[in-house]
Amino acid sequence: MTQRKLAERLRLDPSNLSKVLSGKLPFTEGLVNRIVIDLGISKRWLTTGEGLPYDKPEPVETLPMPVPGERPGPIPVYDLDVTAGCQSLESLFGSTVPAGTIDIPGLSHNSAVVKVRGDSMAPRIANGGFVAIRRIRDMRNIAWGQIYVVELEEYRLVKYVRRHPDPSQVILHSDNPAYDDMDIDRADIRKLYVVEAILNYEVQ
């Protein structure tokens, strides 16, 4: 694989990847996690040289697996606007220190809480509110009508995902009637995160 092809696979600017490989830019934990996730490389082999390159990758999540019958404990809260920018959320989680944690019964151990800016999902999700999200690994199984964070090539959106008459597309629907529906190709969705909880609050 050429360096340019590798940059395309990792969705990086080729010049930035070249600077990382030459030592001019740091090799961040986020980039390590992106290689592990996107290329299926063993994280242990990549970081220590031990084992095999294509061993089963170690989980990226830093929280321990829950013991059956016990609550999973607190989940991380990130001071990140989920709709800002186009960088992969998983790479942001890998390179950003959580602002804190929150303990909410019923949430998955591998959830994360992030901020939502904008009013396209108001009043369901308030501007500045938080949502608990969890990565969906198999995007063939969409729960139609559920709220998701949809990660596209150029931006991220928080929307209801609805069934489209054309199976190759989906409809992204806002709660705010001032916003029109969007039709997008399913193939354009890079990652999908289901919204497991909505935390609206007002600072007095």
Give CB contacts under 8 A, 24+ apart, made by 17-23: none
Domain spans of the chain, in order of start: 3-48, 75-199
Q: What is the pLDDT of residue 49?
A: 84
The pLDDT of residue 71 is: 46
Count of residues in the chain: 204
Residue with tokens 């990847």: 17
Distance CA 164, CA 166 (A): 5
Tens place of pLDDT per residue across the chain (204 aa):
788 888 877 777 888 888 888 888 888 877 787 777 667 778 888 888 888 877 543 444 444 444 444 445 688 888 888 877 666 777 777 777 888 888 877 777 788 899 888 889 989 998 888 999 988 888 777 889 999 999 988 888 899 999 999 989 999 999 999 999 999 999 899 889 999 999 887 555
* Closest by Cα among 201, 159, 204 to 184: 159
pLDDT attached to residue 62 = 42
Per the rule left: phi > 0, alpha: psi between -120 and 50, beta: everything else, 136 is beta
Report pLDDT for 47: 85
Task: Report the run of H or E that residue 133 belongs to, with start and end.
Answer: strand 130-136
Model pTM? 0.62
CATH topology of domain 75-199: Umud Fragment, subunit A (2.10.109)
pLDDT on residue 65: 44
Predicted confidence at residue 147, as pLDDT, reads 94
